[in-house]
Chain A
Amino acid sequence: MSITVHARAPRGEAPPRLGRRIRLDRRRFLASGLTAVGAYVVAFRGVTWIVGPGKAWAAGVDTFEPELADTLLKMTRALYPHDFLGDVHYAQVVQDLDGEVSGFDDKERLQMLRGGMAELDEAAGGTFVTADAGGKQAALGKIAGSPFFEAVRSKTVVSLYNQPEVWKKFGYEGPSYDEGGYLHRGFDDLSWLPDPPAEASPPVQAG
């Protein structure tokens, strides 16, 4: 299988009629991205950081202690596991979860997340982060539906799949207006089925 990557024209340039295309095979595509393993969590001068493999990136969280950040990093991936997504995208979700509890006097939600982590560790029979893939799924299955589980799951399903860099990995091209829509960029380029007749699907009108 091959994946087609559509390179965007920089803002301000006239949009090309056809997006420039770079073809990569799947293996190269995956190797070029951030792979599933490798991010780690550290505390440095009182701030918790999620650090990418080779220190390629680091995502700071304001409120979560390292253990909670690490648990949520592993939990969000286990909830929506995509091998072709690097940890950087799950770290974004952890940052968003952290954003919900930072800067408020009300610590109820933070306490709920901390309590949930303990619940998840118990369900994993030790620590969730060190459980293998099957163990993680089993632990999540045990706590599914709890307020903690739903708080993390419902945030993750929005925050993970709302990242433009994630869209590209699914092939989704996102906003089209600035590039003139898809009228000249492949809205009808499917060629593995015959074209419908003109009475069913008229040609694009001139002008």
Chain B
Amino acid sequence: MATKTFDKSDDGVVVIVGSGAGGGTLAHELCLRGIDVVLFEAGAQQSIESYVNDEWASFSQLAWLDNRYAKGGWRVATDFPNLPAWICKTVGGTTTHWAGASLRIQEHEFKARTHYGDVDGANLLDWPITLADLEPYYAKAESKLGVTRTNGIPGLPGNNNFKVMYNGATKLGYKTVHTGRMAINSEPRDDRNACQQLGFCFQGCKMGAKWSTLYSEIPKALATGRLELRPNSHVLQVLHDDGGKVTGVLYADEKGERHEQKARIVAVAGNSIESPRLLLNSASSKFPDGLANSSGQVGRNYMRHTTGSVYAAMPEPVRMWRGTTMAGIIQDESHHDEKRGFVGGYEMETISLGVPFMAAFLDPGAWGPDFARKMETYENMAGMWIVGEDMPQADNRVTLHASEKDPFGMPVPVVSFTDHPNDAAMREHAYRQGEAVYDAVGAKATYRVTPYPSTHNLGTNRMSEKPEDGVVNSYGQTHDVKNLFVSDGSQFTTGATENPTLTIVSLAIRQAEKMADMMGKNEI
């Protein structure tokens, strides 16, 4: 089937920038409602056939490797000064790399300011929506993604790494321990295979068992005849008219040639580094501080979840690399209880790395006999990832580099981050609990592993009730420009405890419904 193409002067289309969880879902949902969409993706198109079961090769294939800077007090700025985030530049965005954990944000987390109070140094705010508002969309998203333990879909079978986690956790008295709510098929569903336990969830699922916009939302949207996908097309600026409405985007194609694509609406979904960068790079005489930035909040409140890993050398082989990477969770610490010495909560989820990435991430920069002995416990290692709510801070932010520009002449992004004391206290608690889980089943040694470059990037175009507090309203529509939307995790008002993708998808479904309604009424 020949796919639809749209003229660059067609000002009736919705332009979406970014084809990941937010952009890819929004594109499909709009097409289903009869709306024409041009979907821009800076990266190249891959497929389940072209994915590779090889960590470094896959990293080269999928990761966003354009130059960026990490600054601030986090260790990533020292160890990986040009890789603040481990996210993707490819059709499907980071839904190629994500692990599939699909959890709903808890009711109290939508009201973080109310429940946590005035935490010193934190820029906390309640979301302008509640769990009740989002519940119908969570239900639709869980069905779309095929989340296990919802919609009658069985849980995934636990692998060896989960067996260690389960036994340790239950010995410690934890109650909510299972193989997770995962957007990975435990049985064939929606033209996707069942998981064959490849162990390469992070490298693009070669079974197609894990939900990704690459082979779920985007092909379905193309089949409506209303979508044009433009891969290898890097959007440089969002353009506007004298009246302050956006009119389209300026982009560079595969050859680096610049074009303008007209649009009725522009939705920005480039993840929490590129989306604010694009708005800041769209500054004009009318909007000198960047587009949609009258609040000054564009790029601010960058969140990355309070993370860390605990690996343990167990007395017998575990072979944690075998099977689904993140199908295992302990949820007993995900609630809010200030008696633990911090606000918010955290999850503990199974994780594993192959030998190449274990060498790179176990203790970045380390060398010598002690490091070598740790690596030699690899076959016996069990592992977990900590993911908890971090505090939004105004000065944790994405800014434009003062002098360095990308090949298209646009300033490159600088990501500044420093832990809030609450983040540090939570991580310390989580490390201790993680170690206790493995000690309970006889760990010979445990290793606290520093956070990896950010996989969860949130908050840099946050939602707010009042225009002065944030960038977008509860539908992701910018407060300043009525036909400009944000459709990714940069909308998050606060980070919550949960892996963010399910919420990004739910917000995109809700946004599509509202956008179509507003278009129908000629409001935008």
Which residues of chain A have a CB within 8 Å of any CB of chain B?
3-4, 78-82, 137, 140, 144, 153, 157-158, 160-162, 166-167, 170-178, 180-183, 185-190, 192-196, 199-205, 207
A193 in contact with B441 (CB, 8 Å): yes
A200 in contact with B166 (CB, 8 Å): yes
A161 in contact with B179 (CB, 8 Å): no
B179 in contact with A176 (CB, 8 Å): no
Chain B residue numbers with a CB within 8 Å of A153 are 365, 367
Tell me the bound Cα distance from A92 to B105 in angstroms: 48
A188 in contact with B367 (CB, 8 Å): no
A158, A162, A177, A188: the one contacting B163 at CB < 8 Å is: A188
> B517 at the A/B interface (Cβ < 8 Å)?
no
A188 in contact with B323 (CB, 8 Å): yes
Tell me the bound Cα distance from A158 to B53 in angstroms: 16
Produce 1/0 per residue, B174-199, CB < 8 A to A.
00011100000011100000111111
B368 in contact with A79 (CB, 8 Å): yes
B155, B356, B358: the one contacting A201 at CB < 8 Å is: B155
Chain B residue numbers with a CB within 8 Å of A79 are 367-368
Chain A residue numbers with a CB within 8 Å of B359 are 80, 157-158, 160-161
B198, B206, B354, B379: the one contacting A182 at CB < 8 Å is: B198
Q: Across the interface, name the chain A residue whose C-beta is closest to B178.
A: A200
Write 9 A-B pairs (CB below 8 A) sorted by A numbering.
A153-B367, A175-B53, A183-B197, A186-B160, A187-B323, A193-B163, A201-B155, A201-B157, A205-B194
> B207 at the A/B interface (Cβ < 8 Å)?
yes
Chain A residue numbers with a CB within 8 Å of B157 are 187-188, 201-204
A200 in contact with B368 (CB, 8 Å): no
A175 in contact with B54 (CB, 8 Å): yes
Tell me the bound Cα distance from A93 to B423 in angstroms: 39
B375 in contact with A170 (CB, 8 Å): yes
B197 in contact with A187 (CB, 8 Å): yes
B379 in contact with A205 (CB, 8 Å): no
> B64 at the A/B interface (Cβ < 8 Å)?
no
Given the contacts A158-B56, A172-B378, A196 and B322 also touching, CB distance less than 8 Å: no
A170 in contact with B355 (CB, 8 Å): yes
Chain A residue numbers with a CB within 8 Å of B375 are 80, 82, 161, 170
Chain B residue numbers with a CB within 8 Å of A170 are 355, 375-376, 378-379
Chain A residue numbers with a CB within 8 Å of B25 are none
Chain A residue numbers with a CB within 8 Å of B206 are 177
Tell me the bound Cα distance from A64 to B32 in angstroms: 62
Tell me the bound Cα distance from A183 to B199 in angstroms: 10
Tell me the bound Cα distance from A193 to B322 in angstroms: 17
Pick from A3, A167, A177, A189 the residue with the most CB of B within 10 Å.
A177
Tell me the bound Cα distance from A182 to B196 in angstroms: 7
Q: What's the nearest-Cβ distance from chain B to residue A139, in Å? A: 12
A173 in contact with B321 (CB, 8 Å): yes
A173, A176, A190: the one contacting B318 at CB < 8 Å is: A190
Q: What's the nearest-Cβ distance from chain B to residue A147, in Å? A: 14
> Which residues of chain B in 350-381 are interfacial with respect to chain A, using CB atoms and an 8 Å cutoff?
354-356, 358-360, 365, 367-369, 371-372, 375-376, 378-379
List 3 tightest A-B contacts by C-beta distance, closest first.
Answer: A201-B158, A171-B379, A181-B196
B167 in contact with A196 (CB, 8 Å): yes
Chain A residue numbers with a CB within 8 Å of B371 are 80
Chain A residue numbers with a CB within 8 Å of B177 are 196, 200
B322 in contact with A205 (CB, 8 Å): no
Given the contacts A160-B359, A187-B322, A196 and B162 also touching, CB distance less than 8 Å: yes
B163 in contact with A196 (CB, 8 Å): yes
Chain B residue numbers with a CB within 8 Å of A167 are 354-355
B186 in contact with A205 (CB, 8 Å): yes
A177 in contact with B379 (CB, 8 Å): no
> B319 at the A/B interface (Cβ < 8 Å)?
yes
> Which residues of chain B in 440-456 are interfacial with respect to chain A, using CB atoms and an 8 Å cutoff?
441
A158 in contact with B356 (CB, 8 Å): yes
Tell me the bound Cα distance from A72 to B108 in angstroms: 57
A140 in contact with B167 (CB, 8 Å): no
> B121 at the A/B interface (Cβ < 8 Å)?
no
Chain A residue numbers with a CB within 8 Å of B199 are 176, 181-182, 187
Given the contacts A157-B359, A162-B356, A80 and B196 also touching, CB distance less than 8 Å: no
B163 in contact with A195 (CB, 8 Å): yes
B178 in contact with A201 (CB, 8 Å): yes
Q: What's the nearest-Cβ distance from chain A to residue B151, in Å? A: 14
Q: What's the nearest-Cβ distance from chain A to residue B473, in Å? A: 41
Pick from A81, A144, A153, A204 the residue with the most CB of B within 10 Å.
A204
Produce 1/0 per residue, B41-54, CB < 8 A to A.
00000000000111
Q: What's the nearest-Cβ distance from chain A to residue B65, in Å? A: 14
Given the contacts A199-B178, A200-B177, A161 and B356 also touching, CB distance less than 8 Å: yes
> B200 at the A/B interface (Cβ < 8 Å)?
yes
B166 in contact with A140 (CB, 8 Å): no
A81 in contact with B369 (CB, 8 Å): yes
Tell me the bound Cα distance from A43 to B359 in angstroms: 33
Q: Across the interface, name the chain B residue whose C-beta is closest to A137.
A: B368
Given the contacts A170-B378, A190-B164, A201-B157, A140 and B198 also touching, CB distance less than 8 Å: no
Q: Across the interface, name the chain A residue whose C-beta is closest to B354.
A: A172
Chain A residue numbers with a CB within 8 Å of B166 are 196, 200-201
A80, A174, A201, A203: the one contacting B162 at CB < 8 Å is: A201
Q: What's the nearest-Cβ distance from chain A to residue B330, in Å? A: 11
> B159 at the A/B interface (Cβ < 8 Å)?
yes
Q: What's the nearest-Cβ distance from chain B to residue A78, in Å? A: 8
Chain B residue numbers with a CB within 8 Å of A175 are 52-54, 200
> B317 at the A/B interface (Cβ < 8 Å)?
yes
A82 in contact with B160 (CB, 8 Å): no
B167 in contact with A193 (CB, 8 Å): yes
B197 in contact with A181 (CB, 8 Å): yes
B154 in contact with A157 (CB, 8 Å): no
Q: What's the nearest-Cβ distance from chain B to residue A204, in Å? A: 5
Q: What's the nearest-Cβ distance from chain B to residue A191, in Å? A: 9
B321 in contact with A80 (CB, 8 Å): no
Chain B residue numbers with a CB within 8 Å of A144 are 367
Q: Across the interface, name the chain A residue whose C-beta is closest to B355.
A: A172
> B337 at the A/B interface (Cβ < 8 Å)?
no
Q: Across the interface, name the chain B residue whose C-beta is closest to A149.
A: B367
A187 in contact with B159 (CB, 8 Å): yes
B158 in contact with A174 (CB, 8 Å): no
Q: Across the interface, name the chain A residue whose C-beta is closest to B187.
A: A205
A196 in contact with B158 (CB, 8 Å): yes
Tell me the bound Cα distance from A175 to B198 in angstroms: 8
Chain A residue numbers with a CB within 8 Å of B369 are 81, 137
Tell me the bound Cα distance from A194 to B376 in angstroms: 26
A176 in contact with B162 (CB, 8 Å): no
